[in-house]
Amino acid sequence: MPQSLSPALSQKERESRTWQRGDYSISTDRSRLNVELIHYFLSNVSYWAAGRSRDVVERSIENSLPFGIYNGNDQVGFARIVTDYATFAWVADLFVLPEHRGRGLSKWLMEVIVTHPRLHGFRRWVLSTKDAHGLYERFGFIKLHRHERWMERPDPNLKESPDYWR
């Protein structure tokens, strides 16, 4: 049998978690996610993932730690964390539905994310945003330090939101 590289996650660490605030909750339970809504928002409303296919959305969620925001049972917000759980995390696809904005939900979600017990001790967190820098600055994000050391590899045939790269 191959030797495990690291101790297996305990059942407790694998369990989904829920945070409650009045009628709203945040959960990492994948079975609660409204994938249709997430796909609709990302593909039709967001500026960064316009046209993203359902298949890509599903795969992206499967391979991330997803967070849903709920009003009762209705999903009203989302974010997913791409991470190796050791050194690095990327905050991706964060949104709150328009009718639930301005109530502190994205600030609460970011607080839950940056204090999540499986998301700590990283050398670096990153994210990309067009205009929500002020939101993320509250949680310790800064503009790229030594940006000249960073590179990206955009897909030359990118179909998602070409505006984003301009």
Ligand X SMILES: CC(C)(COP(=O)(O)OP(=O)(O)OC[C@H]1O[C@@H](n2cnc3c(N)ncnc32)[C@H](O)[C@@H]1OP(=O)(O)O)[C@@H](O)C(=O)NCCC(=O)NCCS
**Distances in whole angstroms, Cα of residue 48 to Cα of each of 27, 58, 128, 148:** 24, 17, 9, 23
What is the closest distance, in whole angstroms, from the C-beta atom of residue 31 to ligand X in the complex? Answer: 23
What is the closest distance, in whole angstroms, from the C-beta atom of residue 163 to ligand X in the complex? Answer: 13
What is the closest distance, in whole angstroms, from the C-beta atom of residue 78 to ligand X in the complex? Answer: 9
Give the nearer residue to ligand X in terms of CB position, either 72 or 102: 102
Give the nearer residue to ligand X in terms of CB position, either 28 or 69: 69
User: For residue 76, which of 117, 21, 125 has the smallest C-alpha distance?
Assistant: 21
The C-alpha atoms of residue 79 and residue 94 are separated, in whole angstroms, by: 4
What's the CA angle centered on 22, arms 108 and 19, to 5 degrees? 50
Give the nearer residue to ligand X in terms of CB position, either 48 or 85: 48
The residue ranges that bind ligand X (CB under 6 A) are 46, 94-96, 101-107, 129, 131-132, 134-135
